[in-house]
Amino acid sequence: MTHPAASTTQDAHGTRSRDAAHESAAHAPATGPSRRRAVGVAGLTAAGALALSACGSGRDSDAAASPSAPSTPTDVAAAADVPVGSGITVDKGGVKAVVGQPEKGTFTAYSPVCPHQGCMVNPADKQFVCPCHNSVFDMASGDVTGGPATTGLSPYPVKVENGRVIVG
Ligand code: FES
């Protein structure tokens, strides 16, 4: 499923490092570099936004503060470095995000901050997982699918241009 030449590593959550994969950037997705997808639908479920009982100690206001989307479109990675069915964590040009490719050619980007208590989520198999209390978020929608978090990840605008992932 991934580039055969890419020697990525994978942790227990299926998260891949892109250290050795960046050379394969010339292998743009088969869907073409001009394809643009901006996915960020329904990241929040308002119904549980005010619930205070998630983990017994209450929802802390500092960690739950929603980060805003990057104000300037920023090239964060080669599209070829984002594994299909998983994703990467980026911290580039002042942009901290998780970028996923739940289906080939469909890219998503979110704030990496877990809405529960502010830990950083990690990409896994078509989802993002928080290591602190195991909240799970759908990679395609950002919606919470498990764990104590009651809201989804904050979506960021994302597109692919010339084989590069642009967030913001
Ligand atoms: S901080 Fe508690 S599940 Fe993420």
The answer to whether 124 and 15 have CB atoms below 8 angstroms apart is yes
Per the model's pLDDT, the better-predicted residue between 111 and 34 turns out to be 111
98 within a domain of the structure (yes/no): yes
Structure tokens at 80: 């070829």
**Is residue 117, in this structure, part of any structural domain at all?**
yes
CB 120 within 8 A of CB 132: no
CATH code where residue 161 lies: 2.102.10.10
Q: What tens digit of pLDDT does each residue of 19-53 get?
A: 433 433 333 333 433 334 444 433 333 333 333 33
Cβ atoms of 5 and 24 closer than 8 Å: yes
Return the CA Rg of the chain: 16
Whether 6 is in a domain gets the answer no
pLDDT tens digits, residue range 4-13?
Answer: 333 344 444 4
**What was the pLDDT predicted at 50?**
32
Answer whether residue 114 is part of any domain.
yes
Distance of alpha carbon 55 from alpha carbon 87, whole angstroms: 28
User: Domain count of the chain?
Assistant: 1
Q: Could you report the per-residue pLDDT of 44-72, keeping only the tens digit for each?
A: 333 333 333 333 333 443 344 556 678 89
Closest ligand 1 atom to 131 CA:
4
Q: Is 56 among the domain residues?
A: yes
| pLDDT confidence of residue 70 | 83
Residue 18 has pLDDT above 50, yes or no: no
CB distance 113 to ligand 1 below 6 Å: no
pLDDT at residue 160, rounded to an integer: 97
Instruction: Summarize pLDDT for 136-166 with one digit per residue, the tens.
Output: 999 999 999 999 999 999 999 999 999 999 9
List b or e across 120-153, with b for residues whose CB sees 16 or more CB atoms inside 10 angstroms: bbbbbebbbbbebeebbbbbbbbbbeebbbbbbb
61, 130, 136, 145: which to mutate for ligand 1, most atoms within 8 A of CB?
130
Per-residue pLDDT at 69:
77
pLDDT above 50 (res 91): yes
Place of tokens 């300037």: 72
Q: How high is the pLDDT of residue 71?
A: 85
Q: Which residue has the higher pLDDT, 90 or 32?
A: 90
Q: Does 148 contact ligand 1 (Cβ within 6 A)?
A: yes
Query: From the alpha carbon of 119, which atom of ligand 1 is closest?
Result: 1
Tell me if 69 is assigned to some domain.
yes
Question: Which run of H or of E encompasses 62?
Answer: helix 61-64
Residue whose structure tokens are 């001009």: 34
What single DSSP character describes residue 119?
Answer: P
- Cα(163) to ligand 1 centroid in Å equals 33
| pLDDT score for 83 | 98
Examine residue 27 and state whether it is found in any structural domain, yes or no: no
Looking at residue 57, the DSSP 8-state letter turns out to be S
Q: Which domain holds residue 44?
A: 35-167
The token pair at 75 is 């090239």
